[in-house]
Amino acid sequence: LFLQFVFHTYTTAFTLLNGNGTPKAEEYSIQQKQIFYGLGAISYAACVGALPLIFMNRYTVKSPLAQLIVRKLLPAPLLGLTSAFTAAVVRSPEFENGIEVMDRNGKVVGVSRIAGEKAVRETALSRGVLFGTTFFLPEVLVHFVQRAKLVKSPRALASVRMLLITSVLAGMVPVSFSLFPQCGEIKREDLEPEILSSTEETEFFYNRGI
């Protein structure tokens, strides 16, 4: 539970610092709201991520199938989903209040909730792919290493697993960041009428954040 909490705290802080800075409000601080949302998302994600192992340890489940599912197969997709969840929650003001959209010359033409929703959705998806793949692929590779009996001692196997996780993470970071362009594009027909009434442009752009 503690390790899950630390992991999601780090990723949430990174998301908070690298989002789109458009949302503003007079009656409250958007950043304070994001921090409040982030703390809730971190706590929820940490509990969800640790719950399967806590359940197994609490009820001493020893079934090989249950051990395989909970310890090998479930953690990676669960981590991907919770990472996407925390990213979406901490950046929720972006689709609640909207983000700035610009024309091809960089001139701000309005603030769009639709663009904000698109930016948050893309970022959450890239975050889920990053961590889901990073923890799923090494487990698959470690399984083949064990079957081939290339490593015999538990300590050496742990070292191999850590090396694989680090290598996959290093390769997946640029891949996840490039899934969607940093400067996102949105078409005219997808924007709000109040923005379209002020310009004749057909293509608009926004800062997606990281």
Split at pLDDT 50, 70, 90, the class of 50 is confident
Identify any residues that bridge with 204 across adjacent strands, giving them in sequence order: 186
Instruction: Kindly state the average pLDDT of the residues 84-107.
Output: 91
Instruction: Answer for the pair 113, 160: CB distance below 8 angstroms, yes or no.
Output: no
Higher pLDDT, 115 or 58: 115
Does residue 164 have a pLDDT over 70?
A: yes
- Which range is most confident: 26-35, 55-64, 185-194? 185-194
Place of tokens 């599912």: 69
Structural tokens at position 172: 């997946």
Task: Supply the pLDDT for residue 27.
Answer: 47
What are the sequence ranges of the domains in the chain?
Answer: 1-207
Does residue 82 have a pLDDT over 70?
A: yes
